[in-house]
Homo-oligomer: A and B are copies of this chain.
Amino acid sequence: MDQEKINEFLDRAVAEILPTREMLVDKLKKGPIRVYLGVDPTSPKIHLGNAVALFKLRQLQDMGHQVVLLIGSFTATIGDPSDKTSARTGLTQEQVNQNFKTYKEQASKILDFDKVSLQENGEWWHKMPVSEFMGILSKVTLKQVTERDLFAKRMASGGEVWMHELMYPMLQGYDSVVLDVDLEVGGTDQTFNMLMGRKLQKIYSNKEKCVLSVPLIMGTNGLKMSKSEGNTVDLTDSAPNMYGKLMSIRDEMIPIYAECCTTLPWSEVQEIKENIASSENPIDLKKKVAFEITRFFHDEKSAMDAQNQFKSVVQGGGVPSEMENVTVNPADMKFEDLLMGTGAITSRSEIKRLISGGGCSLDGTVITDPNFEVTPKEGGILKIGKRGYYRININE
């Protein structure tokens, strides 16, 4: 038992440990524990915010504990309560399977899947009869559920809470009972559900599950990182794109990214914290963290190339050596249509706003009229926003 590793585990990238830190320490010392993370594969992409919990699991794997990754194959088919639209439509089982496949590919960069116990909650929820489910519901009051921030806020603002959304805490909570775990890890937005699991596990199995929440990190625009904000750094991002995005985060986020999204030694992370606090010029620290994260998810050489490219393009005003192609017909078309062809942005109104705002150029010339007629030429270079470069490829 490595006391230092335990301490790092308890201190690094942790928002809260419940019911007490002492209880978790005790469990970790007593022997291999079973820890679980639930993942609703609603999207094929993992972003750095999602990765924080995976890094925590990796720490536990390294200490010899048993990691259970629970695929919310059932919960994902009915959608997440925080998003009403998707809650009404939901994913198909096929989409879930496909998404999880890509999820696993990406998560393999952090977790050792040979040692992960994979579970799917569809296993029990597609079998359990309603009559049995009522037994679970009879352990919880409406008040306990509507205390959840999400529901309370939505109701306070006159929004609707659908009955099936209200079931989420019990669904997620009962997963803990089935998995029979000692610890659950999740974002701070999951604390309520994780504690519901603690409550149910205590009732059903008389077992004291601990809950460890990890911080939610901010995205490239300073808001909480999330797909709907469009501010994510994705594990599938190309090295130049990942590096570029990371160089755009706010300075005060540097230590948090170092702490939560890297395997940099804990002592180095603490140094970065101190240096930021002593208001050293942060650009070098940011480069270090951006490099480290890019290196981790790609490799040393790609990270180096990305760093050089960033230097020449963003800092030097050049264009990147590698960029995506956009294939178009050689006929005249509106500038707006040419940009839509790249697929970089799918909303026509957004592309119009971006053009009008001077955010787009053709061969270095900024064009601000979406209706401007252009004749696409082979090898022409389109720029969309700060880092979106596309080479025109004529369809012959």
Interface residues, chain A, with chain B CB atoms under 8 Å away = 74, 77-78, 87-88, 122, 125-131, 133-135, 137-143, 145-146, 151, 155, 160-164, 166-167, 170-171
Complex copy number for this chain:
2
Judge whether B162 and A141 touch: CB under 8 Å: yes
Please name the 3 residue pairs, one residue from A and one from B, whose CB atoms are nearest each other, closest first: A137-B164, A137-B163, A138-B164
Find the residue from A87, A128, A142, A160 having the highest chain B CB count within 10 A: A142
Contact A162 B133 (CB under 8 A): no
Given contacts A125-B129, A127-B129, A129-B125, contact A155 B134 (CB under 8 A): no
CB of A8, distance to nearest CB on chain B (Å): 40
Cβ–Cβ contact B138 & A87, under 8 A? yes
What's the least CB distance linking A192 to chain B, in Å?
14
CA distance in complex: A77, B135 (Å): 10
- Chain B residues in 8 Å Cβ range of A161: 141-143
**Chain B: which residue is nearest A171 at the CB level?**
B130
The smallest beta-carbon distance between A147 and chain B, in angstroms, is 13
- A152: shortest Cβ distance to chain B, in Å? 11
Q: What is the bound-complex CA distance between A166 and B164, given in angstroms?
A: 12
A130 adjacent to B131 (CB under 8 Å): no
Most buried by B among A127, A133, A163: A163
Contact B137 A167 (CB under 8 A): yes
